[in-house]
Structure 1
């Protein structure tokens, strides 16, 4: 018995000794791991992922994937990313691919019930296509210099054209840096044998703030700057390409004269007239919905009172114009000025607006589609 205990005691000591002498696990000079599209990793958090990408898409669909680059102990200089064309067995190519670096932003107050701690999280998408040397490093996608253990998340957007043949397409992501061996990440896209419609059957309206976007880029949101207008158009088009309709397409909205007549030939620098811009959004980009740029103080100060007749004339002609270019079923009021009523007074105010819009005569007995977003649990009101 004693000899047996001595045997096991010596065995345990031997194992522990060998473990203590084992070399540390190798840390690659450059690591590239594919992760899920909803996963997030902090700037220096160890990344757990896979060594390949497999995505699936219908024709006429965008599908994305992401991966994280991590520098080794010596860091990495001039990190670059490329993706080869996606090819099928017959050599046919899908080349509608866009690469973005995900820039970190400091989150001091997480959203309610968020599992993520207050720290830096990837959020901003910086297009790799914009690689001008005039762009500051913080806002340039690539190249980037990384310190030891630092992460760079990358988002890739793949567009599958409507005429694409179904089947499997393969390509390779290549990540390189000065003095380091390139790392490859295989990508496989399976294109399904059906096509999404050009316009989403699900009507959406996503709030956007063109004034805030212009401010970030150093513009004043006046509508008179071609560069400013094209910037907002690029944001709108990006959303529409992904089946999301922006709220308040300002460059496709008329102004009113003193009598309430809308000006559909209003010109936006760098873009065109209101009517031309409307055709772009509704016919070329297939927006699922359009919200009238009309509110309780625009284009008239008192639309429920002394300006009622002028405001209703404006909306009658505006709604007819929208129906002609988009179809009446896609035209809605902007809900922001009667958003989520939560008192008796607020509901009464919302009803006044309903009466205002119902009194506007439209062809074929149509009514202006008036939307109010209602909060839950207001049964007693």
Structure 2
């Protein structure tokens, strides 16, 4: 049955196709010509052996196409065509499309934006993925300001490879862009009416993936808009893969021919006996351009279905992979994307169920907490932790064995995943038991909580919290950071310790870890010079201080650097004042107050720093803006600046 919405969508899409009729490219199929294709120049630019030829070898249509080859790394061989002055508009959308096949990803369509006088204003280009069969590409781009006409270049570029082009088009896309919102309106209306689903849009060779932990049943809704009547079934669809740690153990693909309207698909769990650790739903489109557009939604929660809750508590990742459009700034409504409302909902669900997802990845059952010890090099986001656990770290394996010399620091991470989102967590470290009854005392170790902070559209690990009981953030996993300083008198050999964790004063969860101490002692005196930027201005900005940070509050940062054999350096920049004060006395003479600077130098020396910057621009002047040292009038307090001349 064809619904009114489907009928109106079909009429709209038919008008969109009809609007794009004028192709600026001359001889677009490379059929005309004698010794070479008419209207095209075949050649190379820069360096690199290769060729640009007009061939009859397997064209996409007709009898001929162009073949471009680069046999060594270099610049590019190309088919080139320039257009007459006055044939393009500035800041205007254009559509570049055609067909290609290639042995590598060295296949590049490129468009030069030229001014009235032929001056180069900029370029658009993008790399196309390798394809053994003829494959379409279709991009809508924005011309640069001042554009008067174009030069089109079809290239094999940078890396060795062979590519073929055929059936090219360069068209005005204003009507297509104008009607883009109308094209998407029925799809967005469907998504808004069903907020219990996570929705993605896929078109133009893109794909979107939703990753889940475990083997849940899935309910998927999807709508296909503007499907060409002769489109092969393999060109677009949805795929559900069940995976273990080695790869795919079960896969189901659903492809649908032409037809608008909403479709429902249900995917049962993989059969019992298969050790599925993760499930991936992929929506894909191998067609080019805005036709077709897929709207795919995974039901993630709902009050009626227990399975929906299982899906919400299994969500591990949600990401879209649009086909690269190069450096075009034009944003199109039908581009492959995660819908904004879905992205926001996914973030909420991911935070709510973060620990439950990690518990599943660790193989926990019931309400038991789970934990795993990892290298300090594995400083990961919530999604990356899940991916690591599902591919490498979830199997019962010995804890990481780290090694250090005496007087050396080393670090470990322990991921802790209790049920739900606890309000408080604690972690207690035992003495490390070594050879012949020797120990490294717990006092030589520190346990801190890794905090996650916003960065763009994600949460990344950065600060280490000191005070227990720790209050975990609502974002990101619970990760304890262990720092151990091996005492200078530690006996060489293997040591073992235990970290005991609790959530909301619940039952303890203990994890062992191991350390090997080498029969080697690092000297307490540092000989390697360093210059580690640690500016007071950074602290002033971060804590939004009205004045300078006090020296007492600056000391812990200095001590942190020197304890790790780094020599910190401060410079006068931004919202801060010089450490060395210069005063003009009533008789016109200058006096200098080194008291503040002396405190700083004394702290550096006490910590073992071996590098001090003596340039006046560090202590007396503004380093980055080049201001001369300020001189304060002793009586009035007004500032002038020292004149070197």
TM range (shorter): 0.5 to 0.7
What corresponds to 1:201 in structure 2? 527
Change (3 A) 1:308 1:161: farther
Name the CA distance, whole Å, in 2 between partners of 1:33 and 1:289. Answer: 40
Measured against aligned partners, the alpha-carbon deviations of 1:19-59 in whole angstroms (never above 9, x if no partner) come to 49x9x975342111122222233236525235624221111
SS in 1 for 2:508: strand
Shift of 1:288: 2.9
Q: Is 2:364 aligned against 1:27?
A: yes
Q: Is 2:424 aligned against 1:78?
A: yes
Please, what TM-score do these two structures have when normalized by structure 2? Answer: 0.35
What corresponds to 1:174 in structure 2? 500
Aligned equivalent of 1:98, options 439, 446, 449: 446
What corresponds to 1:278 in structure 2? 601
Change (3 A) 1:247 1:306: closer
8 Å contact kept, 1:81–1:173? yes
What corresponds to 1:373 in structure 2? none
Aligned equivalent of 2:570, options 248, 260, 266: 248
RMSD: 3.6
Shift of 1:287: 0.8
Bigger RCO (CA 8 Å, 6+ sep): 1
8 Å contact kept, 2:559–2:607? yes
What corresponds to 1:5 in structure 2? none
8 Å contact kept, 2:536–2:548? no
Measured against aligned partners, the alpha-carbon deviations of 1:128-178 in whole angstroms (never above 9, x if no partner) come to xx34xxxxxxxxx6154879xx62122111112323333332210111124
Change (3 A) 1:298 1:188: farther
Name the CA distance, whole Å, in 2 between partners of 1:292 and 1:221. Answer: 24
Name the CA distance, whole Å, in 2 between partners of 1:306 and 1:254. Answer: 13
8 Å contact kept, 2:535–2:571? no
Please, what TM-score do these two structures have when normalized by structure 1? Answer: 0.57
Q: Is 2:629 aligned against 1:299?
A: yes
Name the CA distance, whole Å, in 2 between partners of 1:188 and 1:19. Answer: 35
SS in 1 for 2:519: strand
Name the CA distance, whole Å, in 2 between partners of 1:249 and 1:163. Answer: 38
Q: Aligned residue pairs: how many?
A: 256
SS in 1 for 2:533: coil
Change (3 A) 1:146 1:172: farther
What corresponds to 1:111 in structure 2? none
Higher strand share: 2
Q: Is 2:415 aligned against 1:68?
A: yes
Measured against aligned partners, the alpha-carbon deviations of 1:193-231 in whole angstroms (never above 9, x if no partner) come to 2221223332111222323323434544436xxxx3222
What corresponds to 2:375 in structure 1? 36
SS in 1 for 2:485: strand
SS in 2 for 1:279: helix
Change (3 A) 1:179 1:146: farther
8 Å contact kept, 1:40–1:121? no
8 Å contact kept, 2:555–2:603? no
